Chains A and B, each alone.
Chain A
Amino acid sequence: GAVVSQHPSWVICKSGTSVKIECRSLDFQATTMFWYRQFPKQSLMLMATSNEGSKATYEQGVEKDKFLINHASLTLSTLTVTSAHPEDSSFYICSAQAPDHRDRSLNYGYTFGSGTRLTVV
């Protein structure tokens, strides 16, 4: 249980184009999803919090017009990197939070997707 599917697992795009990354909760409804960015050998940095049916909350320093987040359903959130540049190359990871996050079963804790390696050339 508590599987989060992230797609694609890797993508290479040309500078100036846009890329969409999908995050799906497969067997539970995720009222909240989180998007993180991770540079090589560094920790995860929270970019934004995505709430179903409402606007995302962005962390300080994250450009909301560049990183568009849509959480149109309880099982899907998307991150679109617009007008991508080489400095946007990174590992992007989503996590999903089930309503019963206090369930002591690890399966319904904070579950991460497998990540998307974005390379902008």
Chain B
Amino acid sequence: GQQLNQSPQSMFIQEGEDVSMNCTSSSIFNTWLWYKQDPGEGPVLLIALYKAGELTSNGRLTAQFGITRKDSFLNISASIPSDVGIYFCAGQLTTDSWGKFQFGAGTQVVVTP
């Protein structure tokens, strides 16, 4: 079953605002991934995190691997209309084989002009 809690479920923001979302769990993860999915498409990898405390940026996106290894957050700065989509976190449990990921429920981001 799903072991990740992703929040918020949805966000309605104005263009130019910053966006923040996170995933938490009671379990320990050794890898965190953040994806964006557009309607009818497969997810596209945004950021991969491999070490506790790691902070990684990809353009206007910044993600961090929590120190406790039980959480991760994704920030989007200065949002633009093309940031619209569903963002998923994915984590690999330390007890799972390499490549097997648990997915969060997703955060729907809507950007208004």
Contacts and interface: CB of A to CB of B under 8 A. Distances in A.
A104 B49 CA distance: 9
B41 A115 contact: yes
Given A110-B33, A111-B45, A49 B99 contact: yes
Interface residues of B, number: 25
Nearest to B102: A46
Contact of A114 (B41, B45, B90, B105): B41
B2 interface: yes
A4 B2 CA distance: 26
Interface in B74-107: 88, 90, 97-101, 103-106
A72 B15 CA distance: 47
For chain A, give the interface size range. 20 to 34
Interface string A45-70: 11001000000000000000000000
Main secondary structure of the interface of A (DSSP, over half): strand
B43 A93 contact: yes
B103 A43 contact: yes
A109 B50 CA distance: 12
B113 interface: no
Contact of A43 (B33, B40, B105): B105
Given A49-B99, A106-B48, A43 B104 contact: yes
Contact of A6 (B40, B42, B90, B106): B42
21 contacts: A6-B42, A32-B99, A43-B104, A91-B40, A93-B43, A97-B99, A101-B98, A102-B50, A106-B45, A106-B58, A109-B48, A110-B45, A110-B48, A110-B101, A112-B35, A112-B42, A112-B44, A114-B41, A115-B40, A115-B42, A117-B40
